[in-house]
Homo-oligomer: A and B are copies of this chain.
Amino acid sequence: MFKKILVANRSEIAVRVMNACRVLGIPSVAVYSDADENAKHRHYADEAVHIGPPPPRESYLDIDKIIAAAKETGCDAIHPGYGFLAENPLLPRRCAAEGIAFIGPSPEAMNLMGNKVESRIKMTEAGIPLVPGMKSSSKDPAVFRKAADKAGYPVMIKAAAGGGGKGMRIVHKADELDAALEAAQREALNAFNDDTVYLEKYIASPRHIEFQVIADSHGNAVHLFERECSIQRRHQKIIEETPSVALTPELRARMGADAVKVAQAADYVNAGTVEFLFDPDGNYYFLEMNTRIQVEHPITEMVTGIDLVVEQIRVAAGLPLSFTQEQLNQRGHAIECRLYAEDGDNNFMPSTGKILHYSEPSGPGIRVDSGVMQGGQITIDYDPIMAKLIVHAPDRATCINKTIDAIHDYKILGVKTSRDFMVDVLRHPDFVHGNTFTDFIEKHMGDRDSNPAKYRDLAAAVATAAAMSAPGAVSSASSGNGVVDGATPWQTIGPWQIGDSISAKA
């Protein structure tokens, strides 16, 4: 097993990986930019190395600096998390040259899957169903126009190096194609340093259903069932759940077997995710394979009981999988809500600022993977994901209610989040009935009215009490001296009297 692991990432996923290192008894090393001098991932690690200024290209994306940090601290392995260098084959290549283990797939498998065009060809050969579209990329808008006409509008432009909705555009009409192509290329260049995009038919109202897979270097490959990630805005997942209400046991077995086939076709060794589009008629199409640990991996951990990051590290160290396909089963239901620093009431506009108050929910079946702390700054430098709330319950209905309760108990002030938006999604009759398609938000949330005014009078009462209460009882931006607290509301609940003398009255 590895002696020391460098985590080449930041925020919640860096903390999550370091937690797996702790479980395995392996010291971890953080890297951090100037913007993350006080970030949680830096302080959570056993050691930390400064790697440059805030722009990712000069720090988290700089392979030379990552390798230097690993060598300086004596690390024999690097975990890339997700995003940043996680799907850049240059990192595993460089690791191999430096004699450092890379906790991820081979550069060849990464190359194949990272390029959506090449992977489509390979998967067609392997007999996996695919969405019709371009067989190869092009710089020529005319090629895109032709491919779009052939597949039929609507079509979708996607970054070859893509993920997370970046460099992605739906085009409904031919005269929108050129502008969308240009925007997608620009975004792709910024996000991935590669403006290669391609085009495929856009399936209206599908579900996004993906399968978690993991394969070791001894020829074992298994799937850990599905995650449904249909609740997306701007092609970015915000609520994920497992199991999917849409799958029968037969369909689950068939898609799972296809997911394993995808991994095997790529000679894949690592945890990975095979994404499918699932159309309303029950057909499914291979979309892409993500060759990294996924943002939404915790819901799979909740229902399978497997620690995916621990297993990923074990597999990278050459150990065989510690379970077989037959030993895996799904238990209960799990939902993940992504807490982005964004305004759920205003078109998900990113929000920056200082976290004035932060407290997490807790209790049986509630897990929070977070990368932020009270007093921390949310800056414009990085992806706005702050934390993930993961809730596990015996059944879907209980899980939905428990998730809403947990969102209510999750207090974040100073930076906007889409907590209220997510509660409205979770309460929507179509969500409750499992009518979850990728156009859910567009279709059902467009005319949403957040109306916080219903709390107007109570909020004024709370503000009054806050103003009157003893100094120190209210956290204040000006008191932020780096001493923080992140107590969970119900863990810390203090003196409270009720009864005849004092209670709520309307």
Instruction: Specify the chain B residue showing the minimal Cβ separation from A483.
Output: B473
Q: Is A99 an interface residue (CB 8 A)?
A: no
- Select which of B25, B307, B472 is within 8 A of A364 by beta carbon: B307
In the complex with contacts A22-B405, A44-B490, A499-B50, A364-B298 CB distance below 8 A? yes
In whole angstroms, how far apart are the Cα atoms of A498 and B30 in the complex? 10
Q: Is A332 an interface residue (CB 8 A)?
A: yes
Q: How many protomers of this protein does the assembly include?
A: 2
Q: Is A494 an interface residue (CB 8 A)?
A: yes
Q: Is A486 an interface residue (CB 8 A)?
A: yes
Which residues of chain A from 360 to 400 have any CB-CB distance to chain B below 8 Å in the complex?
Answer: 360, 362-365, 367, 370, 373-375, 392-395, 398
Which residues of chain A from 473 to 492 have any CB-CB distance to chain B below 8 Å in the complex?
Answer: 473, 481-488, 490-492
Tell me if A48 and B498 are in contact (CB < 8 A). yes
Q: Is A19 an interface residue (CB 8 A)?
A: yes
Instruction: Scan A331-343; emit 1 where CB is below 8 A from any B CB, else 0.
Output: 1100000000000
Shortest A96–chain B CB gap in Å is 28
Q: Is A23 an interface residue (CB 8 A)?
A: yes
Tell me if A23 and B492 are in contact (CB < 8 A). no
Tell me if B482 and A485 are in contact (CB < 8 A). no
In whole angstroms, how far apart are the Cα atoms of A494 and B39 in the complex? 8
Shortest A389–chain B CB gap in Å is 13
Tell me if A362 and B362 are in contact (CB < 8 A). yes
Q: Which B residues are in CB contact (< 8 Å) with A394?
A: 305-307, 310, 322
Q: Is A62 an interface residue (CB 8 A)?
A: no
Q: Is A220 an interface residue (CB 8 A)?
A: no
Q: Which B residues are in CB contact (< 8 Å) with A38?
A: 494-495
Q: Is A301 an interface residue (CB 8 A)?
A: yes
Q: Which residues of A contact B (CB under 8 A)?
A: 19, 22-23, 25, 37-38, 40, 42-44, 47-50, 298, 301, 305-307, 310, 322, 329, 331-332, 360, 362-365, 367, 370, 373-375, 392-395, 398, 401-402, 405, 470, 472-473, 481-488, 490-496, 498-499
